[in-house]
Amino acid sequence: MTLGLRRPTGLRGRLVITFVLVAVTASTLVAGIGYQLVRRALLDRAEAGAVVDVRDVIQRISLPIGTSELLWPTDAVVTDSDLTNLAESLGGPDRQVILKYGEQERLSSGTTFGLDDVPAELRRQAAERMVRQRLLIHGDPWLLIGTQVHRLTRTGAVRPTGMTIYVFVSLKEEGGVLARLRTALAQASGITLAIALTVALVSARSVLRPVRRLGDAARALGAGRLDTRLPVDGRDELAGLSATFNDTASALEQTVSELRALEAMSRRFVADVSHELRTPLTAMTAVTDMLTEEAQNLPPDAGKAVNLVVREINRLRVLVEHLIEASRFDSGAAVLTRENVDVGMALADCLEIRGWTGRVRLEVPRGLSFSLDPRRFDVIVANLVGNALLHGAPPVTVTARALRSGLEVKVRDRGKGIPRDDLPHVFERFYKVGAGRARSDGSGLGLAIAKANAELHGGTIKVELCDPGTLFTVWIPYS
């Protein structure tokens, strides 16, 4: 497996790396250019000085070398001592000399080089003019100067004398200077890198401080603290961004305040209307009880009308009760009052009160008790069972059992089941499955209220499709 370097994703990391790269690149360029300039100047000066010294010595040669055409007398003899002294005059502590005159070859004292160390091309060029070349011999830098000694004839022409001189000039001192210069430049680059990194961190911190404050303010705004504002410092782009954020937050706070006020008014209106309808509905329910008893004695059309009125009044009564219950949750007035309840008896009472005992099969272990709010538990079960009886098909079963985590109650019918597209929306208020459902099929609030009551207990309600039917699972944790 190949491990790659992760690219920095944070703005702080990118700023620091970019700043350091720019600083290091600039420092490297400056150091490199400076080093090359110093190196060239130092070596050129060393070469020029060596060439001048060699040329001066050659011009002072007074030995009778060359042919009869030269100014020196031809009858004089150049001895070995003369050639040795000439080689020594060209030599020195940092120089090694090879002198060749005809078949004779002389070396200055301490010379370790020979003609084999002189490149062939340089030997060819040295026969015509003075040439020089930098060499690296055994790891040490040297400057090799090669030239043949020329003299004027009696006619003024320049002729070679046959004497060739090769001078090896050590550049070790200059190499040491350059090595120390490289070390100093490397140290300076390290110091520059440390300074650049420090400046980058400080700069990134100062630049990113407004960005961090903006992020914190955005999170606070998302958490509902709409009065969050940012200080506006300076006139740069970040200051403009902070000012824009403040304007946006102010507009959002005003809009949310208006929406909350409208929502509160709407909730109060629903609650007030529901409570106002409750009293006349109570009276109407009492009257409908009397009408129901007399409906059989009325003509067929009048009996149908009475039954329709009774059904719609009952539906309206259920709707008002649901609206009142929903308004309690919206206003935060819903209170949970737990007590130890026999789950089997609570479920049986819920079914008996609503006349569902013969239509629902109850499966509960004997003696199962649990701490819960009996009234709200009754609302949960009644809504789920009523939904199963109204929209499902028999047999409808209600089972309860105790788990390690809490109480589990399941309500299942054997109908066609809820369409899969509608499953995510069944607990939404006023949502009705199927566009063609009749008006008498409920208010669309029952499952939403059941879910709210389960969540008030700290529990959940889940719905899933079975084959056949639909299964609702209520889970209530231990208190």
Q: Is the bond leading into 395 cis (omega within 30 degrees of zero)?
A: yes
Higher-pLDDT residue of 200 and 472 is 472
Crossing angle for the helix pair 237-294 and 172-222, to the nearest 10 degrees:
30
Contact 70, 151 (CB under 8 A): yes
Predicted confidence (pLDDT) at residue 244 exceeds the cutoff of 60: yes
The predicted-structure confidence for 395-426, as pLDDT tens digits, reads as follows: 999 999 999 999 999 999 998 888 888 888 88
The predicted-structure confidence for 89-146, as pLDDT tens digits, reads as follows: 888 888 888 888 877 888 888 888 888 888 989 888 888 888 989 888 888 898 888 9
Model confidence at 361, pLDDT cuts 50, 70, 90, reads very high
Predicted confidence (pLDDT) at residue 315 exceeds the cutoff of 80: no
DSSP string, 226-255: TT------SSSHHHHHHHHHHHHHHHHHHH
CATH number 2.60.120.10 given to 238-328? no
Which residue's structure tokens are 């272990």?
365
pLDDT for res 377: 94
Of the listed ranges 24-33, 147-156, 431-440, the one predicted with least confidence: 431-440
pLDDT for res 333: 66
Regarding the domain delimited by 63-170, which CATH topology (the fold level of the hierarchy) does it fall under?
Answer: Beta-Lactamase (3.30.450)
Question: What does each C-alpha distance from 181 to 36, 157, 187, 193 come to in angstroms?
Answer: 11, 48, 10, 18
Contact 62, 73 (CB under 8 A): no
Closest CA to 387 of 277, 307, 461: 461
**What residues contact 164, with CB distance under 8 A and at least 6 apart?**
99, 100, 101, 123, 126, 127, 146, 147, 148, 149
Predicted confidence (pLDDT) at residue 2 exceeds the cutoff of 50: no
pLDDT for res 1: 42
- Residue 80 to residue 72: CA distance in whole angstroms: 18
Q: What percent of the chain has pLDDT over 90?
A: 17
Crossing angle for the helix pair 172-222 and 11-59, to the nearest 10 degrees:
170
- Residue 42 to residue 38: CA distance in whole angstroms: 6
Closest CA to 321 of 430, 426, 443, 427: 443
- Residue 227 to residue 217: CA distance in whole angstroms: 10
Give CATH for domain 335-477.
3.30.565.10
pLDDT for res 397: 94
Contact 207, 237 (CB under 8 A): no
Contact 469, 412 (CB under 8 A): yes
pLDDT for res 74: 44
Quickly list H helices, 5-135: 11-59, 80-90, 120-126
pLDDT for res 331: 66
pLDDT, mean over the chain = 81
Of the listed ranges 59-73, 120-134, 340-354, the one predicted with least confidence: 59-73
- Residue 202 to residue 210: CA distance in whole angstroms: 14
Model confidence at 464, pLDDT cuts 50, 70, 90, reads very high
